[in-house]
Amino acid sequence: MVWLDSPITDLPRVANGLGRSRSTAVHAEITAARLLAACFVAGAAWVVAEVAGGLFFLALGVRLWRYELVPLFWDITSPIVWLFAVGLIVPLSIGYDRIVACRWRGRGRLVARLLFVMSVGPVLEVLINEFLFKAAVGRALYIYTTLPTFSGSWSWLSPFYYATLLIHVPITDRLLGASAPAQHPP
């Protein structure tokens, strides 16, 4: 029987239709404040990676993308995307970990998470830029300028950009208690 412990709540989780999970003391201590802190840490880590990476390539004479709405740092970032980073990175990661990545440990889990961010991130960026910004606001949030497709909403390099999302994992896992061993019923 496989038990899935929830790192955020102490709600019962049903495995194979039987029983309830028992949370560890660490899992029981997770609060909304810890979740919020994890969201801000992950968002801030990604913003630093985006700005540093974008400026690095810009210094080499290669512009990878350009923000169109509220651009900062030579159009490398925008506070609008920071809000998406804070609001989406950790909740999507938690959902994925609960459903899929919980089945693996070590490198297998890292590879599973990497494949997740490298596939889901680019899909979400196209949907958000095309439907939320271009269609609803009338302007793109950003435009990819190197190897663009989907009218600049995606780049063939996008999966590699999204791999940088994993820089938050060691800190957010600790904040959320995900590194603590789960105790399962006998």
Q: 52 lies in a domain?
A: yes
Q: 20 lies in a domain?
A: no
The pLDDT tens digits for 104-155 are: 888 888 899 999 999 999 999 999 999 999 999 999 999 999 999 999 999 9
**Predicted confidence band of residue 173 (pLDDT cuts 50, 70, 90):** confident
Q: 42 lies in a domain?
A: yes
Q: Which residues of 28-46 are buried (b: 16+ CB within 10 A; e: fewer)?
A: eebeeebbebbbbbbbebb
pLDDT at 9 over 80: no
Q: 68 lies in a domain?
A: yes
Residue 104 pLDDT: 82
Closest CA to 57 of 119, 146, 136: 146
What mean pLDDT, rounded, does the chain reach?
81
Q: 122 lies in a domain?
A: yes
Q: Which of 7-21, 77-91, 115-129 has the lowest mean pLDDT?
A: 7-21
Find out whether 67 and 75 touch, Cβ atoms under 8 Å.
Answer: yes
Q: 41 lies in a domain?
A: yes
Q: Is 122 exposed, middle or buried (0-12, 13-18, 19+ CB in 10 A)?
A: buried
Q: How many domains does the chain have?
A: 1
Q: Which of 8-12, 59-63, 80-84, 121-125 has the lowest mean pLDDT?
A: 8-12
Q: 133 lies in a domain?
A: yes
Q: 123 lies in a domain?
A: yes
User: What is the residue range of 128's domain?
Assistant: 31-176
Residue 80 pLDDT: 96
The pLDDT tens digits for 47-56 are: 999 999 999 9
Segment (H or E) for 155? strand 154-155
